Homo-oligomer: A and B are copies of this chain.
Amino acid sequence: MELTKRQKEVLEFIKKVQRASAQTPSLREIARHFGFGSMTAAADHVRALKRKGVLEGSPRRARSLKILSPWENLRRPVVDIPVYGEIPAGFADERQQEAKGCISVDVKSLGIGPTARTFALQVKGDSMIGKHILEGDYVILEQGSIPRSGDVVAALIDQESTLKTFVLQEGNPVLKAENPRYPTLVPVHELMIQGVMVGLIRKVE
């Protein structure tokens, strides 16, 4: 069944509040927002929206409305990934200070767990062009995973975080730059690897 104009407005308001505060408005708050003299008006609309299958809520439970729109149920929880300029060795838990910014992406798109230690680096230079990683790209990395041969990793070289490809060469782990102009091969010390690439975000223009 189609939603009426008013019902769409109410639904939009609920969505808006949920995004702004991560909380559903109460019936009285809905009524106040639309200037209703009575909260029954809001309750009527919510009941209609429930009947039409776009809202869901546990009975007698405060602020329990949940949007079931075909779009909304595709949503995944969003994680905040800190973007570092460079990563000093050690990588303590509390490093908010050094964060240059923050990227928010839904978990599913990158296939990362909310508990994982995930961070991002903005790529400088074109040393990873062979892996189709460009200057300015944000590379999402996970700390602690074990790199497989061919994985892109962030490594600490000369006090600076650099992206390299992790390769097993005749059984020995080495780091390789993905650019013919920098054919550097570096032997791996365990502690140098700060994270393994799990995703990438590129902004064009």
CB distance from A152 to the nearest CB of B (A): 7
Q: Complex: how many Å from CA A69 to CA B203? A: 24
Are A75 and B104 also in contact (CB < 8 A) when A80-B69, A203-B198 are? yes
A204: CB under 8 A from chain B? yes
Residue-wise, chain A 65-84 has the 8 Å CB interface mask toward B (1 for contact) of 01001111011111010100
Task: Please give, as numbers and ranges, the residues of chain B lying within 8 Å of A76 by CB-CB distance.
Answer: 102, 104
Residue of B nearest to A26 (CB): B62
Stoichiometry, as copies per complex, reads 2
On whether the beta carbons of A71 and B75 are closer than 8 Å, the reply is: no
Are A105 and B23 also in contact (CB < 8 A) when A70-B96, A71-B96, A80-B71 are? no
Q: What is the interface of chain A mostly: helix, strand, loop, or mixed?
A: mixed
Task: Please give, as numbers and ranges, the residues of chain B lying within 8 Å of A133 by CB-CB distance.
Answer: 132
Residue-wise, chain A 112-148 has the 8 Å CB interface mask toward B (1 for contact) of 0010000000000000010011100010000000000
On whether the beta carbons of A77 and B19 are closer than 8 Å, the reply is: yes
A97: CB under 8 A from chain B? yes
Q: Which of B18, B22, B63, B138 is in CB contact (< 8 Å) with A109?
A: B138
Q: Which of B23, B63, B114, B197 is in CB contact (< 8 Å) with A204?
A: B197
On whether the beta carbons of A104 and B106 are closer than 8 Å, the reply is: yes
A157: CB under 8 A from chain B? no
Q: Complex: how many Å from CA A66 to CA B64? A: 15
A186: CB under 8 A from chain B? no
Q: Complex: how many Å from CA A24 to CA B111? A: 25
Q: Which of B71, B82, B108, B129 is in CB contact (< 8 Å) with A99?
A: B71
A residues neighboring B (CB under 8 Å): 15, 18-19, 21-24, 26, 62-64, 66, 69-72, 74-78, 80, 82, 94, 96-97, 99, 101-106, 108-111, 114, 129, 132-134, 138, 151-152, 197-205
What are 14 inter-chain pairs, A to B, with CB distance below 8 A?
A23-B64, A26-B62, A69-B80, A70-B97, A72-B80, A74-B82, A75-B80, A75-B102, A75-B104, A104-B104, A104-B109, A109-B203, A151-B204, A201-B201
